[in-house]
Chain A
Amino acid sequence: MAQTILPFGPQHPVLPEPIHLKLTVEDEIVVDALPALGYVHRGLEKLCDIRDYNQMVQIVERVCGICSKIHAMCYCQGIEEMMGVEVPDRAKFLRVIWSELHRVHSHLLWLGLFADAFGFEALFYQFWKIREKVMDINEATTGNRVIVSVNQVGGVRRDLSAEQLRWIDAELKVVEAQVRALRATTLDDYTVKKRTKGIGVLSSAQAMELGAAGPTLRGSGVAQDMRQLKYAAFDRLDFQPISYPDGDSWSRCAVRYDETLQSIDLVRQAMARLPEGELSVKVKGKPEGEVVTRVEQPRGELLYYLKGNGTNNLDRCRIRTPTFANIPPLVVMLPGLELADVPVVVLSIDPCISCTER
């Protein structure tokens, strides 16, 4: 049968950001997929040449809007490890609270986009409506909805009052109830299952071999989450990674749905155990040496390699984002699919091109 090459993206209704896939199809079946990147690459890593290690906190926050807080936390953890800085306990718990709030709003954003990808617009609106409450919490506690610039090397820049903690708890009760109410529609609906069950299957062996990360890895039955490394205050919170065994688009959706509720629980745990104390410590000296640090972003494992040379500027700030790791698995998932399933499978890895092309 004759082969046709179809461009998928860089502008496509299901893609919030530009990525191009060159799809080779026979009739309606995909036989090959080739990714093309570079539409929004910014070279942010290189800015460490001209921005000092404190200014780089604000730079890495802008790698990605959806998980800005988590980028900054990972970077700060790396610098703190390099400089032997012990962050106050209260700052560690506050970092968990804001990072898990980020995971909640990121997963709600994705659940909406995923619903939109298989044509369920009412569900899309519902999830995004719920998400607004989390964005309101971000705005009320940090001054911003998206780029919540709360981290600094040595701790955090903002605190939460007892009144704010009570208000967040009340808001999260509403969010949790609304998310739970959508469970049957999201995971048990006949049409949704028809579009996602058995579609874009990635076995656990493939996921490991192809270096998958985050919900893409856990949706293939591998229960690995960087929060098990017990960074920040995770050593004092009850946490078990969520995984589903089937490796299909439905499993990746189920992982994110459950993680939304789990993150709400983690925020509650952190708020309940939030100790009194300082928000940050004074940092003296200049970073020297090498460090590799990892945290769990909404999309998966985030790695920072930092190299300091004893000056204010780092020698190297290398960022490996989870979507970058999930592109090879995506390329392997697509062949054999019907063309109509491609948008669903592409969305199922929760592609963040802003992160990928940092």
Chain B
Amino acid sequence: MPIPTKQVTKETLVAEVLQLKNAGWRIVTATCVDLNENEFDLIYHFDKDLQMEHLRLTVPKGAPVPSISGVYLAAFLVENEIQDQFGLCFDGLALNFANHLYLDDEVATTPFCKFGVVRKTAAAE
């Protein structure tokens, strides 16, 4: 059984996250899942009074995703981790390590992908 999630799109993600923040939800983390050769699942996990809410965003590989670090600053760390591990690019990251949170300069692969993706170079802010 899949976990109960609310499906969002790139266009509605930030608004949905903002709504959760205004309602007092705490961000727990985000999870990236390599679905197949073409898509990732991004699942955002939130908590309020020990209840959880999950938002699911299915995105094509290679396409940038809006960052939610403008809403929850804490998300910058997990978004940078996903950038490192899966090669997904986040637009508007509050603090962008540009694929170097964990990885050294010479690493050009996306180590957590079953199906490799071409890493897009993002300029450090």
Contact = CB atoms under 8 A, between A and B. Distances in A.
A292 B53 CA distance: 11
B102 A41 contact: yes
B50 A211 contact: no
Given A38-B103, A45-B112, A303-B45, A320 B50 contact: no
A327 B31 contact: no
B73 A209 contact: yes
B26 interface: yes
B33 A316 contact: yes
B1 interface: yes
Chain A, interface size: which category? 35 or more
Interface in A290-347: 290-292, 294, 301, 303, 305, 307, 315-316, 318, 320, 324-325, 327-329, 332
Contacts of B8: none
B92 to A, nearest CB: 17
Given A301-B28, A318-B31, A210 B74 contact: yes
B111 A46 contact: yes
B122 interface: no
Given A211-B72, A318-B31, A37 B102 contact: yes
A303 B78 CA distance: 13
Contacts of B112: 43, 45-46
Nearest to A288: B1
Contacts of A45: 112
A82 B77 CA distance: 29
SS class of chain A's interface: helix, strand, loop or mixed? Answer: mixed
B90 interface: no
A332 B1 CA distance: 39
Contacts of A291: 3
Nearest to A229: B50
Contacts of B76: 328
A291 B4 CA distance: 10
A248 interface: no
Interface in B39-75: 43, 45, 47, 49-50, 52, 54, 72-74
Contacts of A116: none
Contact of B27 (A38, A46, A211, A224): A211
A305 B103 contact: no
Interface of A: 34-35, 37-38, 41, 43, 45-46, 49, 208-211, 224, 226, 228-229, 289-292, 294, 301, 303, 305, 307, 315-316, 318, 320, 324-325, 327-329, 332, 357
Given A305-B43, A357-B102, 5 more contacts: A211-B72, A211-B74, A292-B54, A301-B28, A305-B45
20 contacts: A34-B95, A38-B101, A43-B112, A49-B114, A208-B24, A210-B72, A211-B27, A224-B49, A224-B50, A289-B1, A290-B3, A292-B3, A292-B45, A292-B52, A301-B47, A303-B45, A315-B33, A320-B31, A324-B29, A328-B73
